[in-house]
A and B are shown apart, each in its own frame.
Chain A
Amino acid sequence: MLRKRSFVKPVKKISMEQNTSQTFFDKIWDSHVIRHIEDDVYLLHVDRHMVHECTSGAAFAALKRSDRRVHSADLTYSVVDHILSTAPGRTGETFPGGREFVSLLRKNCAEHDLELIDFDDPRQGIVHVIAPELGIALPGTTLVCGDSHTSTCGGMGCWAWGIGTSEVAHVLATQSILQRRPKRMRVNFHGKAGEGVYAKDMILHLIGQVGVAAGQGHTVEYAGSAIRGLGIEGRLTICNMSIEFGAKAGFVAPDDVTFEYLAGKPYAPQGQLWDQAVSHWRTLCSDADAAFDREVDIDCSTIRPQVTWGTSPEDVSSLDQPLPDPADIADPVRRRAIEEAFSYLGLEPGKPLAGLPVDVAFIGSCTNSRLSDLEAAARVVKGRRVAANVRGLVVPGSAEVRNAAQAMGLDKIFTDAGFEWREAGCSMCVAINDDFVDPGKRCISSSNRNFEGRQGPKSRTHLASPATVAATAVAGVITDECGLLS
């Protein structure tokens, strides 16, 4: 009997494990399949559809052309954020170039009976900032939005990803989406990051290590002690930049930090439903022996504050590192890319990035515009002045962040230092409204993309954490927190 059992058990165990061990992603995927279409293509249910003014206009128009209606208005959430002016005291018309999209969204929401969070709503803000903040983004759900940084919401433990406008129309009309099953990657951030090293530095460091195409076709689970040690806002920052190394989405499995953050949020479930939800959410973690298609390990103790020196987020290093010399690069394509980036940014090989004068310092965007970001920047700025050569802007991610910061007196710290204190929106991250960097000018920015022209035609962008942006604003030249203090 015993012998028989010991013979049977291991075999059974192995086959059980092969059949049942799942990653966090597998669990979400499986619970959202409506239908298998063919090969690796499935029709999935969308639990949360976030809509904003810039990528929805053409989608609603497509609906109208084919005489279709919004399928599930109760799972659709709309907000204006991208093209809206961030000038203090703005209205929907303050930036005239934005009027078309803002009024289109109003009209479309009215026609389809959708709730719209308009410019003057106390819940207004960047779509990826308000979805977690209001408790719209819930663990275990699928969430899409016509914007690539939708992955931000993965920090809440949902599977959130960006879609195009045709897909927006498809989701509006069917509350479902066609998907190829992505591969699974896990990034383990081990150890503990040092003083002055933030979530932004962790993710920039990762992208510098793996390159901008490493995540293609994958969803990424962020794990490890350094991730567990982060608050929700830091996790949102990490997940935000998943797209910057090509991943479809990034997420952190929910834990007590997530539940504490969510409890009592206006759109989160309440009472008995809340208890029921939390006990379900606790089951979502990747099983201990679940297999990933790719794993990456990062030792956080070695990470220093990061600043980008090129026109791609992978062009990044700490300020104590010399810039690469194209002459040393063997790969001709990479060499040419670096040469072009240097020429675009007005940099010379061999010279350090530290000490380079900047013209603009931007604290904002869905990467780094939450309260903890503003607190970190304010700590650096307090009692100091923005250098005379620098225009400093602080653009909170949402009205709620703005109000909370004001209640703490952060606005006063920023304005006393000479920063502009603006209304919530995307602002100088994408320069689709009138917040842009002038041609040839250099900006240190807490946003997520340093592409050519991203912050305006011929603008030059260096990405960094809010603390590094603040330190640079004060010094007038690129530096990090330690550099400012030393």
Chain B
Amino acid sequence: MEKFTKLDGVAASFPIPNINTDAVIPASYQRTLKDDPGKGLFAGWRYDLDGKEVPDFILNREPFRQSRIIVAGENFGCGSSREFAVWALMRFGIRCVIAPSFGDIFYENAFKNGLLPIILSPSQVDRLHDHLAKTNNPSLTVDLEKQIIELPNGESVPFTVPPSRRTALLEGLDEIGQTLRFGDEITDFQRNQKVTAPWVYARPQYSRSAKENADARASIA
């Protein structure tokens, strides 16, 4: 995971509720792991049907092409579980999304990749939208260590992030590695479950044997 400590950059305002992950990146931009997912960010809004940029769209205008932060409406990232939504934001340059609430899966996905999702009260978020609508310096500073968002005019807005998530972001922790420290407990759990709920493990013989798998591998290689 990429570390997150302090971020200073342009913030784009999307004062719309329920921006779903199909809007963040349409399915047609998720057919490969080889392309830059940042190109698909908000593709349905950002490009016309010929693939040309829609000039009015906020991320197609300066200085918002350099956006690092998005301020959104409630329930941002609802819908599909696609982690491409987080990858698209990050590859575009966005490292922080501020909203009154988030879709559950998006919220998890964000932390796992080093994108900071900040939950503020609806009125605080509205204030940020108002500010961004009026200012000619649409930048914000997000300090995770101090848990403060600073506006250029000196105003600041406190926020909180669950402590373990904050530590994970500050240190860029490898979550799987962390969990594997409890490997023995996982093994114990399974050993116990095989006694209390043996049917969980009653799987019929694999139809595709190890040998067939090996053949499949050979045919692909």
User: Which of the listed residues A61, A138, A451 has the most CB atoms from chain B within 10 Å of its own CB?
Assistant: A451
Judged by a CB distance under 8 angstroms, whether B52 is at the interface is no
CA distance A312 to B17 in the complex (A): 11
Cross-chain contact B185 with A213 (CB below 8 angstroms): no
Complex partner residue of B80 from A148, A431, A439, CB under 8 angstroms? A148
Q: For the complex, is B186 an interface residue (Cβ under 8 Å from A)?
A: yes
Q: Does A355 contact B (CB under 8 A)?
A: no
B interface footprint on A445-486 (CB within 8 Å = 1, 0 otherwise): 000010111101110000000000000000000000000000
Determine which residue in A34, A57, A71, A121 has the highest number of CB atoms from chain B within 10 A of its CB, and name it: A34
Q: Is the CB of A212 within 8 A of B176?
A: no
Q: With an 8 A cutoff between CB atoms, is A103 at the interface?
A: yes
Q: Which residues of A contact B164 (CB under 8 A)?
A: 37-39, 41
Hey, which chain B residues are within 8 Å of A68, CB to CB? 176
With A109-B213, A148-B79, A213-B74 as known contacts, state yes or no: A439 contacts B49, CB within 8 Å. Answer: yes
Binding site for A on B (CB under 8 A): 15-18, 20, 22-23, 26-28, 30-34, 43-44, 49, 73-75, 78-83, 86, 101, 103-106, 108-109, 112-113, 162-164, 174-177, 179-180, 182-183, 185-186, 189-190, 193, 196-204, 206-208, 210, 213-214, 216-217, 220
**A/B pair count, beta carbons within 8 Å:** 211
User: Which of B34, B81, B203, B204 is packed against the most chain A CB atoms within 10 Å?
Assistant: B81
Question: Which chain A residues in 359-391 approach chain B with CB under 8 Å?
Answer: none
Task: Please list 26 pairs of residues, one from A and one from B, whose beta carbons are closer than 8 Å in the complex, sorted by A's number.
Answer: A34-B185, A35-B182, A35-B185, A45-B193, A66-B174, A68-B176, A71-B186, A74-B201, A100-B31, A100-B34, A109-B208, A115-B207, A162-B81, A164-B83, A170-B176, A216-B101, A243-B79, A273-B199, A276-B198, A280-B197, A312-B18, A432-B31, A449-B22, A452-B23, A452-B44, A457-B28
B106's nearest neighbour on chain A, judged by CB, is A164
Interface centre among B174, B182, B183 (most CB of A within 10 A): B182
CB within 8 Å of B: which A24-67 residues: 31, 34-35, 37-39, 41, 43, 45, 47, 54-55, 57-58, 61, 66
Given contacts A61-B33, A333-B15, contact A269 B176 (CB under 8 A): no
The answer, yes or no, to whether A209 is at the interface (CB within 8 Å) is: no
Distance between Cα atoms of A55 and B207 in the complex (Å): 23
Name the A residues within 8 Å of B75 (CB-CB).
212-213, 216, 246
Q: Is A152 an interface residue (CB 8 A)?
A: no
For B196, list chain A residues within 8 Å (CB).
31
A248 touches B104 (CB 8 A): yes
| B197 touching A55, Cβ below 8 Å | no
The digit string for A76-102, where 1 denotes a CB below 8 A from any CB of B, is: 000000010000000000000110110
In the bound complex, residues from chain A placing their C-beta under 8 Å from that of B208 are 109, 115-116
Give the distance to chain B from A103, nearest Cβ to Cβ, in Å: 6
> Are the C-beta atoms of B104 and A45 separated by less than 8 Å?
no
Q: Find out whether the CB atom of B104 lies under 8 angstroms from the CB atom of A453.
A: no
A-side residues, CB < 8 A to B, are: 31, 34-35, 37-39, 41, 43, 45, 47, 54-55, 57-58, 61, 66, 68, 71-72, 74-75, 83, 97-98, 100-101, 103-104, 106-107, 109-111, 113-116, 121, 138, 140-141, 146-148, 162-167, 169-170, 173-176, 178, 212-213, 216-217, 243, 246, 248, 266-267, 269-270, 273-274, 276-277, 280, 312, 333, 336-337, 430-432, 439, 449, 451-454, 456-458
Q: Is the CB of B28 within 8 A of A432?
A: yes
Query: Which single member of B44, B78, B104, B175 contacts A457 (CB below 8 Å)?
Result: B44
Shortest Cβ distance from residue A439 to the other chain B in the assembled complex, whole angstroms: 5
Q: Which residue of B lies closest to A108 (CB)?
A: B217
Known pairs A34-B182, A47-B193 / 4 extra A-B pairs, C-beta < 8 Å: A74-B203, A110-B213, A276-B199, A453-B44
Chain B residues with Cβ under 8 A from A449's Cβ? Answer: 20, 22, 79-80
Q: How far, in angstroms, from A447 to B108 measured CA to CA in the complex? A: 25
B27 touches A430 (CB 8 A): yes
Which residues from chain A contact B185 at a C-beta distance below 8 Å?
34-35, 43
- Complex partner residue of B217 from A43, A107, A212, A266, CB under 8 angstroms: A107
A216 to B189, CA, bound (A): 30
Nearest CB on B from A344, distance (A): 10
Q: Which of A83, A106, A337 contacts B16 (CB 8 A)?
A: A337
Docked Cα-Cα span, A248 to B189, in Å, equals 24
Bound-state Cα–Cα, A38 to B106, Å: 21
Contact status of A453 and B204, CB under 8 A, knowing A165-B83, A167-B108: no
Docked complex Cα distance between A101 and B101 (Å): 32
In the bound complex, how far is the Cα of B196 from the Cα of A140, in angstroms?
12
Q: Nearest Cβ distance between residue B75 and chain A, in whole angstroms? A: 4
**A72 cross-chain contacts in B, Cβ below 8 A:** 190
Please determine whether B22 and A451 come into contact, CB atoms closer than 8 angstroms. yes
**CB-CB < 8 A to B31: which residues of A?**
83, 97-98, 100-101, 432
Q: Are B22 and A269 in contact (CB under 8 A)?
A: no
CB-defined contacts of A74 to chain B, threshold 8 Å: 201, 203
Across the two chains, which residue of chain A brings its CB closest to B196?
A31
Q: From residue A111, how far is it (CB to closest CB) to chain B in Å?
A: 7
